[in-house]
Amino acid sequence: MRKTVLLLITFIALSISCSNDPRSKLSQTGNFGETIENTNDSKDAIAAYSTIEQTDTNETGIFSGTIANYCKGEGCWMTLENGSKQPILVDIEDKAFVLPRKIEGKKAYVKGTMVKDSTEIKILAKGILIQ
């Protein structure tokens, strides 16, 4: 009997803690981090990736693309589709904000710097607009 009560209390505590996920309350669209108001001058992320791949020069601006995947744990990164190449990693700079859940396939505008380091090309994001 005592074990049953302990199991029941444990189950209830786990259920309550899992339902209090703050990311579940976030809207799946909108601005996260620094606000992006004007998307007219955004650069296609795939085209910018190709340019940086050839020139080894960092590029700052707003990059647009389709979300391929995202961090399901803490919401600290996502990837943008990149044609037949490896998806483009978008890393949230200084973990300044988190992303909502269920955002695959949505259009995203990423404000930040696309950089090439020794292993990959990625975007260090200061803000993201998901539509």
The candidate with the shortest Cα–Cα distance to 125, out of 66, 79, 83, is 79
pLDDT in tens, 58-69: 999 999 999 999
In CATH terms, the fold of domain 28-130 is: OB fold (Dihydrolipoamide Acetyltransferase, E2P) (2.40.50)
Higher pLDDT, 64 or 5: 64
Give the pLDDT confidence score for residue 1 in this predicted structure: 64
Give the pLDDT confidence score for residue 36 in this predicted structure: 96
In the chain, the amino acid numbered 23 is: R
Dump the DSSP string for 27-59.
-SSEEEES-----TT-EEHHHHHHHHHHH---E
pLDDT in tens, 71-88: 999 999 999 999 888 899
Give the pLDDT confidence score for residue 118 in this predicted structure: 84
Q: Where are the domains of the chain?
A: 28-130
pLDDT in tens, 28-43: 999 999 999 999 999 9
